[in-house]
Amino acid sequence: MNKCVTVIVGTKWGDEGKGKIAAREAKDADLVIRATGGANAGHTVVYKGEKLALHLVPGGIVYPQTTCIIGPGTVIDPDVLWSEIQMLKNCGVFDVEGRLKISGRAHVILPYHKDLDELHEKMKKHPVGTTKRGIGPCYSDKANRIGIRMYDLLLPEIELEKKIKEATKLHNQAFKENGMEEKIIDVRKLAIRCRLLGLRLERCITDIAPIIADKICYNKKIVVEGAQAFRLDLDHGDYPMVTSSHPVTAGTLCGAALPPQALKTVIGIDKAYNSRVGNGPFPTELPASIDENGNVIKGAKPLEGDVVRDLGHEYGTTTGRPRRCGWMDAVILRSAKYTSGIDYLCINHLDTLGEIGNKLGYVKVCVGYLYQGHMIDFYPDDIELTHEIPEPIYETLNGGWTIDSSCETYEDLPELAKAFIKIVEDASGIPVKYLGTGPANDDLIVREDV
């Protein structure tokens, strides 16, 4: 089988800047696929100088030669999707509806999934800190085999109504029992709304398998834009503080309906410092002035985590929440290498880390952990059992650096920045091929020799 698939995956907790490499790889791709998750993800693409925020449509849509697929492993909010399609059309993007193919097997996020997301979070002693986009409830309906799929939006209204009625029996009971009567689902109204969205999206909803088979047969370049990241994976992440899909490479291939034999390259994306939004373990997290609800405490004396967050502008694109920030964790990268099969790394925000170093006087990289009295170089699996967060062992570099427009190649980089990259490569065992040196897509150093 032709090996023509490049997969782009996050290596930590998301927000690593996957869009930059996705844009580069999509430029000469034939097919670009979104495989997992839904409108909990978000990235900006640049079209004719204008920044467009996308949550569902693959960023590759801005290149006119691409076909773009939203795969069967995704969960789609049809209202969000419809507004994205309209926005792209209004901006003059070429033949959006002709090039966008939505798997009829993908599941639909309906308003009650978002209400349930809110309710489940409220009921938990330790909330996950979800994006409240209805992701978990939609995937659990899917696993429960009561989900509504994109194909269902094409059914006659009466049949669709029956399906929604069946699907929402238990949900209505939950709303009633928890004093949320106002959320009880008006099945008829919802079926009419869904049918309308079905009619709008009909042109794009299809069987994507023959499209994929055709591209593989003719050895056309296929790029998969991963969403979320390794530590948010339902099976391999910090369960239960995870998302409800499988953002690792294998899950991404499955969600895209791609055979593993077609895989050519996996590019893992990270940032030179790390961040996490939502709750859960974060061994290299730095102290910050954020209250228990995740809000910045105004007027508080800035701590190390605040310096990183402010210099990195670390506020969620989907939710606007301030992100928790910390040092680069190369141990997680090493674990990601073996779970997600990562060939190359892209490290974004190398410029920002230099500025952090300039401000604080040092930067750190976590190269091992102290855990249960031992030094380890792999992310431990049993944190939920031991209730112990691994203690980072750091290598420290004194000072920071500045990357200006004269830095065009790896050789041009300040020595301290190169020393940082070397530490990351040694500790993770993954070659760093790409370096993000600024916010624009072109602010990227590619090491052709790696």
List interacting residues with ligand IMP (CB under 6 A). 13-15, 40-41, 128-131, 133, 135-136, 227-228, 232, 243-244, 277-278
- The smaller minimum CB distance to ligand IMP, of residues 140 and 206, is found at 140
Which residues have CB under 8 Å from 42's CB, separation 6+?
53, 54, 55, 317, 318
Q: How far apart are CB 241 and ligand IMP at their closest, in Å?
A: 6
Place of tokens 């088979």: 213
**Distance in angstroms (rounded) separating the CA atoms of residues 309 and 49:** 27
- Cβ(308)–Cβ(314) below 8 Å: yes
Q: What are phi and psi of 20, to 5 degrees?
A: -65, -50
Choosing from 15, 77, 141, 233, the catalytic residue is 15
- The smaller minimum CB distance to ligand IMP, of residues 99 and 236, is found at 236
Which residues have CB under 8 Å from 55's CB, separation 6+?
38, 39, 40, 41, 42, 80, 84, 318
- Cβ(35)–Cβ(70) below 8 Å: no
Amino acid at site 165: K
Q: How far apart are CB 4 and ligand IMP at their closest, in Å?
A: 26
Q: How far apart are CB 135 and ligand IMP at their closest, in Å?
A: 4
The residue nearest ligand IMP at its CB is 278
Does 236 qualify as catalytic in the annotation? no
Buried b (16+ CB within 10 A) or exposed e, 201-229: beebbbebeebbeebbeeeebbbbbbbbb
Amino acid at site 367: V
- The smaller minimum CB distance to ligand IMP, of residues 325 and 421, is found at 325
**Distance in angstroms (rounded) separating the CA atoms of residues 329 and 393:** 10
- The smaller minimum CB distance to ligand IMP, of residues 107 and 215, is found at 107
Q: How far apart are CB 285 and ligand IMP at their closest, in Å?
A: 14
Q: How far apart are CB 449 and ligand IMP at their closest, in Å?
A: 32
Does 377 qualify as catalytic in the annotation? no
SS3 call for 371: strand
Angstrom distances, CA of residue 258 to CA of 76, 225, 336, 408: 19, 13, 20, 36
- What is the DSSP pairing of strand 50-54 with strand 5-10? unpaired
- The smaller minimum CB distance to ligand IMP, of residues 129 and 255, is found at 129
Query: What is the DSSP-derived secondary structure letter of residue 148?
Result: P
Nearest in space to 355 (alpha carbons), one of 303, 399, 299, 294: 399
Place of tokens 């390794």: 230
**Distance in angstroms (rounded) separating the CA atoms of residues 114 and 95:** 31
Q: How far apart are CB 242 and ligand IMP at their closest, in Å?
A: 6
* Percent of residues in the chain assigned helix, strand, coil, to nearest 5: 40, 20, 40
- The smaller minimum CB distance to ligand IMP, of residues 227 and 413, is found at 227
Buried b (16+ CB within 10 A) or exposed e, 369-389: bebeeeeeeebbeebeeeeee
Q: How far apart are CB 380 and ligand IMP at their closest, in Å?
A: 20
Q: How far apart are CB 131 and ligand IMP at their closest, in Å?
A: 3
Element (H, E) at 176: helix 157-177
- Cβ(60)–Cβ(29) below 8 Å: yes
- The smaller minimum CB distance to ligand IMP, of residues 154 and 389, is found at 389
- The smaller minimum CB distance to ligand IMP, of residues 190 and 227, is found at 227
Choosing from 43, 55, 171, 236, the catalytic residue is 43
- Active-site residue set: 15, 43
